[in-house]
Structure 1
Amino acid sequence: MSLVSSSFPSSSRTLSSYGWDSAWEAEFTRYADQGLVPGRVVRVDRGQCDVMTADGVVRADTAFVTPHDPLRVICTGDWAAVDTDGTPRYVRAYLPRRTAFVRSTSSTRSEGQILAANVDHAIIAVPLSAELDLGRIERFLALAWESGAQPLVVLTKADLVPDQTGLSYLVQDVETTAPGVQVLPVSSATGEGVDVLTAVVSGGTSVLLGTSGAGKSTLANALLGEDVMAVQAVRDVDGKGRHTTTTRNLLALPGGGVLIDTPGLRGVGLWDAGTGVGQVFAEIEELAQDCRFHDCAHLAEPGCAVLAAIEDGSLPERRLDSYRKLLRENQRIVAKTDARLRSEILKDWKRKNAAGRAALKAKRGGRDR
């Protein structure tokens, strides 16, 4: 990915334009005493990063902030302590993160990958040029809630929906999938919804997330008011786009706030996102409180309030299937680094197997095979 222009915003913008406040200043005091300069990381390359300071953008080496833990490496959105004396310049440390958007990598090691730090709003771009993938939206939402940011689902390319009634139905489908989350149809071509989105993102740091072809770069340009992000056409054959954006870039918005644009994500793996999953499926967790058994698995237990909701049509069965799937996936990820949880999963598996064998034996009149 590339920026159409490699220039950064004018250094006349104060750090407060990038989110600097009194709390960050207090955190930075010990580094200021060491003669270090505060700045926000606007882009990270291999071994180096660009940092916006009060005097403009500086290029700094990251040798001091590249630990073995991939979740502790410096990333776009971090507030850095920069040593500007001498050449090269170095990032010596970064301030504790308020929020962090983390996903599981697609590697067999299932490591966590941090995509953005200190984010207030997680904008999930979903294109209306293709059929809605509600399961993928739920995945993005789980990670967004877990990060500590406020999610917002933006339905891009709204101008491609031929009638307002059809658009309203699509919005309702996503609202059912995203309880407690604003769903906003937007068209960069016509300007629909852009003013509302601009008002939302003006109040802090936003990260723009979605798959390739979701219209993220076009949306970023609409918010920036100029063609800063390069845009490529979506393939007609499958509606997918190429990876226009290949790095994460933090950009100051003219109406206030900053935006982190990210590459299109092929995989959206959960990473210790149990709380986020619960938030996405809040209606299921609320129903579960009325189940007869506190450890109800919502499979075939008597007095299950969740299954009763499916029976009366108030809860779509797809939602329960998706809930189970994401819980299992998240449990597997966490178990890889938690020996106690692995032991509990094994015990639960043995218990369920024993119960299944007992039920089968009873069905056969007490005879084993």
Structure 2
Amino acid sequence: MDLKCEQFVTFRSVRSPKPMRPILAFCTLASLCSGWATANPVISEFMASNKATAVDEEGNFSDWIELHNPTTAPVSLDGWYLTDSAADLKKWKFPNVTLAPGEFRLVWASGENRRFPNQPLHANFSLSADGEYLALVQPDGTTVAQDLGANYPAQRGDESFGGRFLRTVLVAPGANTRYRVPASASDPGATWTQTAFSDATWASGASGLGHGLTVPGITVRMVCKNGTMAGLSDADSLLALPAGHSSILSETTVTADTVNYLGDGSDGHFELNTSPPLGASDNYTIKLTGWVDIPSAGIYTFGTNSDDGVRLKIDGSTLFNDDSGHAPLDNFGSRNLTAGLHSFEVVMFQGSGGDALEFFAAAGQYT
């Protein structure tokens, strides 16, 4: 079996008619934010060297400019202008299009000059990757609503510049979060969006959360406690703390091909040990997360050899729970699994003395 870890990518994509790759770099220009407190539309982002990020309706990687309505009311762009020349503020005129509240609209800087309201918009100029003038001009043709100074900075390929959005933080980074990976089309049921729904059985962890990308390996998080570690409840509490909390002595997250850790003390079953990510220590927890790719349906056994206690969950359900301190000790659990990906979570705690952790699996039932 292949063990695969779950890693998350967070990206901001351009609003366009077709899917695209994540933007490789996103830089902030303070001048892009000017005028955002008004009822005017704004240039929210632009790319002057589009190599492979966004594709227009003809399959071309044209430069692009993104307009945004930051208000709670519709804003008409009829008669507004975009220009790349301070000497010609009326260079390209918008047709009769309206931005809904919060809407983003892409204008391709392709030089094609297409102004049909119900089709993709194309300005009659392109953008220079070396930097040049760029402005949004009001319908009078003389009032510059927004520009980036005499020249915006040079851009590398697939690098965009954009403004920092004003926002209200509802869930702070590192906040304790409950989540569930649905096991079927009917999971978690129709009531999970209701305020009275209980998520007590769901897995928990620190934000943020996002769309998953499975890659080979196991995600390993090790957190050392500034204090004593008495059991799995202490481990769960420590893992739920935000980064920089006074109870966290140190922490790290790595991706590992295998988990066969030996700090101090006796070994388990397998040779070729490696040290825990932060080295041999006392009073810490290790959490393993990822996916196991089951080649065919049947019974599979998962096991650990640990010093001290350990808990294993498969698809969010506990397979075994050993909440005790001890020398290296085996724990096994078997489950009938369908073919495909299944999530796993291993939490191990280390009190004092020897420390070790092995995680393994095999087809069939073993004890």
The TM-score range, normalised by the shorter chain, is: under 0.3
Considering fraction of residues, name the structure with more strand.
Answer: 2
Considering fraction of residues, name the structure with more helix.
Answer: 1
Length-normalised TM-score, structure 1: 0.23
Length-normalised TM-score, structure 2: 0.23
